[in-house]
């Protein structure tokens, strides 16, 4: 049995793939399936260690990207990327023919297109998963045309696909991320004070600048009442850390601010265990927040493909799981006021946490993994 995973080269695509791969390996062990092989086909391995840990072989297929915004640079880039995509398709056809998998799992994104297209040409069954409340271009094309099964994170996304082939599974999350640490353990790990609320800021790598800058502007007020764990993003860490040291140089409570470039799985569990409120963008990270049952403030991108970010945020807010601050309103004063308003209303905060916990169905990764294995075994025969 051979299974190929493919998706765009971002964490929003990669980590759900790893979650499903963990589920596939669990099913393989439970059902005593022998000679199973897993592959990840994309433009970069993203995290070689996680691929190795899950016995996944990486195969590189480069491709171009279609930019939907207008500028002279984007027009030129799109022109050259047409040829990169064509080369990627030919490369993918050769790679997929050589592997000849029993099923392909597509997570969406431009990097998944050549592999999904190759699977279509070679008659290999495809299962796709859509993370957003409205599908991206590749998943919309595959889901409507030929994917045998479509899994979605948001209930609303089922409306975009054939109902008989579509299931609301929820979002696949890695097992090591789902279970948060105890508060006592987390307080000791980060060396935090016992009696103060903790803000957990997920600046991330993409679109982190606005959140980072707003947090820096609000810092002198925030550290009077709260402790802050701030994931800045690796590329932003030196700038944020340097500015924070200047801003807080004369503040006696500066130890309450803890900036970190990136949180590994253990640190994520610890931060989730101690957090009172999470502040984040509105990508697939919201499902991790939901799995922890934590209230949050989401800041969606104003301009995202098909307005995904804003749709995701307001879908989550409609479920009573978060508050939303749009980019135009994301200032230090407004953020400060919203944090204070939310934390003063403990009953509302508790309800929000419960709504968050019920937003994402349990065992999404294992459900998708089981379907993948079943499809692969049918094709193998």
CATH of the domain at 188: 3.40.50.2000
Average pLDDT value for residue range 255-271: 95
Domain shared by 52 and 154, yes or no: yes
Domain shared by 371 and 348, yes or no: no
pLDDT band at 305 (very low <50, low <70, confident <90, very high): low
Question: Which residues span the domain enclosing 233?
Answer: 176-359
Domain shared by 60 and 197, yes or no: no
Which of 67-71, 97-101, 237-241 is the least confident region? 67-71
Domain shared by 317 and 235, yes or no: yes
In Å, how far are 17, 40, 124, 127, 372 from 106, measured between CA atoms? Answer: 9, 10, 12, 6, 11
- Please check the confidence at residue 81 and state whether its pLDDT lies above 90: no
Percent of the residues in the chain that have a pLDDT greater than 70, as a whole number: 93
For the chain, what is the domain count? 2
- Please check the confidence at residue 381 and state whether its pLDDT lies above 70: no
Quick: pLDDT tens for 227-252: 999 999 888 999 999 999 999 999 99
- Please check the confidence at residue 379 and state whether its pLDDT lies above 90: no
pLDDT band at 69 (very low <50, low <70, confident <90, very high): very low
Average pLDDT value for residue range 284-304: 91
- 352 vs 8, which has greater pLDDT? 352
pLDDT of residue 229: 98
Domain shared by 201 and 119, yes or no: no
Domain shared by 62 and 180, yes or no: no
The string over 182-214, giving b where at least 16 C-beta atoms fall within 10 Å of a residue's C-beta and e elsewhere, is ebeebbebbebeeebbbbbbbbbeebbeebbbb
Percent of the residues in the chain that have a pLDDT greater than 90, as a whole number: 80
Which residue reads 């969606």 in tokens?
Answer: 300
Domain shared by 334 and 187, yes or no: yes
Domain shared by 199 and 347, yes or no: yes
Residue 346: count other Cβ atoms within 10 Å of its Cβ.
Answer: 9
Quick: pLDDT tens for 183-227: 999 999 999 999 899 999 997 655 689 999 999 999 999 999 999
Domain shared by 150 and 89, yes or no: yes
Average pLDDT value for residue range 50-55: 96
- Please check the confidence at residue 67 and state whether its pLDDT lies above 50: no
Domain shared by 142 and 228, yes or no: no
Domain shared by 162 and 207, yes or no: no
Beta pairing partners, 37: 2
Domain shared by 236 and 91, yes or no: no
């Amino acid at each position: 049995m051979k299974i190929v995973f493919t998706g765009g080269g971002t964490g929003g695509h990669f980590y759900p793939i790893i979650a499903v791969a963990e589920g596939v390996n669990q099913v393989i062990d439970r059902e005593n399936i022998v000679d199973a092989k897993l592959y990840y086909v994309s433009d970069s391995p993203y995290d070689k260690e996680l691929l190795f840990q899950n016995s996944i072989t990486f195969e590189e297929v480069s491709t171009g990207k279609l930019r939907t915004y207008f500028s002279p640079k984007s027009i030129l880039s799109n022109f050259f990327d047409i040829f990169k995509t064509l080369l990627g398709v030919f490369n993918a056809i050769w790679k997929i023919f050589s592997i000849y998998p029993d099923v392909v799992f597509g997570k969406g994104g431009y990097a998944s297109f050549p592999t999904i297209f190759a699977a279509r040409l070679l008659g290999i069954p495809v299962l796709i998963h859509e993370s957003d409340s409205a599908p991206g271009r590749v998943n919309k094309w595959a889901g409507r045309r030929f994917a045998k099964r479509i899994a979605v994170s948001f209930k609303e996304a089922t409306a975009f696909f054939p109902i008989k082939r579509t299931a609301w599974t929820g979002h696949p999350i890695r097992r090591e991320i789902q279970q948060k640490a105890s508060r006592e353990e987390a307080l000791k790990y980060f060396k935090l004070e016992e009696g103060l609320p903790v803000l957990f800021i997920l600046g991330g790598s993409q679109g982190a600048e606005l959140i980072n800058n707003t947090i820096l502007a609000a810092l002198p007020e925030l550290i009077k009442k709260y402790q802050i764990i701030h994931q800045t993003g690796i590329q932003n860490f030196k700038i944020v850390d340097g500015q924070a040291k200047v801003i807080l140089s004369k503040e006696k409570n500066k130890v309450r601010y803890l900036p970190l470039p990136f949180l590994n799985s253990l640190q994520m569990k610890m931060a989730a265990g101690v957090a009172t409120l999470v502040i984040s963008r509105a990508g697939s990270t919201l499902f991790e927040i939901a799995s922890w049952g934590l209230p949050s403030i989401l800041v969606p991108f104003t301009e995202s493909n098909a307005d995904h970010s804003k749709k995701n945020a307001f879908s989550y807010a409609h479920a009573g799981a978060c508050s939303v601050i749009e980019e135009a309103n994301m200032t230090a004063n407004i953020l400060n006021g919203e944090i204070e308003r939310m934390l003063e209303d403990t009953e509302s905060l508790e309800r929000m946490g419960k709504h968050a916990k019920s937003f994402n169905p349990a065992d999404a990764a294992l459900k998708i993994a089981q379907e993948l294995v079943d499809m692969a075994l049918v094709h193998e025969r």
